[in-house]
Amino acid sequence: MIYEIIPLELGSIVEREIYQKGNKEIKCGVVWKLGSVATKIKPKFIKNYHPDLGICIQDIPGGFIESTYSPEKVIFFSETIDAQEEQELTEIFNGLSPKYSKYYEDVFADLGWKLLTAESFIFGEIEIIQVSEER
């Protein structure tokens, strides 16, 4: 049996990474316009679920992002990063840098940025449906 957790609002599944280098920080990731989370274990978190706070998908036993549609990449910087460095990091993140051709995760690591966390979240009003067969 599979349980599908479906957000009822657009943009309610988010993948976020936080990088740090000295006193500088980057928060980046993807906001999925539509998608769902699935698990083979009956969700029990719903009793304590608060739509404004959501839940980390890694905290849903057996939970994984099943499907996603219409990704939007987002990136935010701490105030300690100057405009020129922001521009370069944004180009790297979006795969538009003329200097780097590798994935942004690899380039950030090469430039001395340390990945602190990589998490996925679902928030907002949700619906949980039981799907009778595996997909």
pLDDT in tens, 28-71: 999 999 999 999 999 999 999 999 999 999 999 999 999 899 99
**Per-domain residue ranges of the chain:** 2-131
Long-range contacts of 110-113 (CB under 8 A, 24+ apart): 111/21, 112/21, 113/19, 113/20, 113/21, 113/26
Q: What does pTM read for this prediction?
A: 0.86
Whether 120 contacts 56, CB under 8 Å: yes
For position 133, what pLDDT does the model report? 65
Question: Cα–Cα distance between 95 and 38 in angstroms, integer?
Answer: 30
Question: Cα–Cα distance between 25 and 114 in angstroms, integer?
Answer: 9
